[in-house]
Amino acid sequence: MRGERDQASAAAETVALVLDEDSPLPETPGDVEELVGRLRGHVLRLGVLLPRDVPAVAHAQHLASLPLPDGYVPSRRHLVRLAEATRDVIAALTAVDRPSGHSTRGRHLRAPSRNTVRALMVGAALIALVVAGTVLRT
């Protein structure tokens, strides 16, 4: 489960490099090839975590299998389309991990933090001291 989140987070970071409003389009063909290669890798790694019949996966895998077009505008357009498809795969993975409308019954809860455990132990010790102090001595 954690590996899935790490992969999805890495993919989301790469998608943000392409789709964020503050991110400029890559300047050189080498930059475009690098980003397309990273997105292809993300699609491959995330695609195996989802059923093959998920439309977002099939679409993203199709785009990832296409060669990078020549030319400034076609290559950037392909890069943006692949980033959008990768974003859709991330959303599909998130939807599978957390189906909507389902309760958390039967799921594992997050482990308490170290400080929470410490506070509980201090509280239990104080209760034990109070109980021990109120017991009548004979």
Q: Which two tokens stand for residue 98?
A: 């957390």
The pLDDT value given to residue 24 = 85
> 84 pLDDT band (50/70/90 cuts)?
very high
Q: Which two tokens stand for residue 85?
A: 């498809």
The angle subtended at Cα 98 by Cα 9 and Cα 17, nearest 5°, is: 20
- Per-domain boundaries in the chain: 2-97
Section 66-71 average pLDDT: 93
The pLDDT value given to residue 69 = 93
Distances (CA, A) of 102 to 95, 97, 105, 106, 126: 11, 11, 8, 10, 39
| Contact by Cβ (8 Å): 36, 78 | yes
Handedness of CA 5, 10, 14, 17 (dihedral sign): positive
Measured between alpha carbons, how far is 133 from 61 in angstroms, rounded to an integer? 69
Q: Is the pTM of this model over 0.85?
A: no
The tens digit of pLDDT for each residue in 21-54 reads 888 888 899 999 999 999 999 999 998 888 878 8
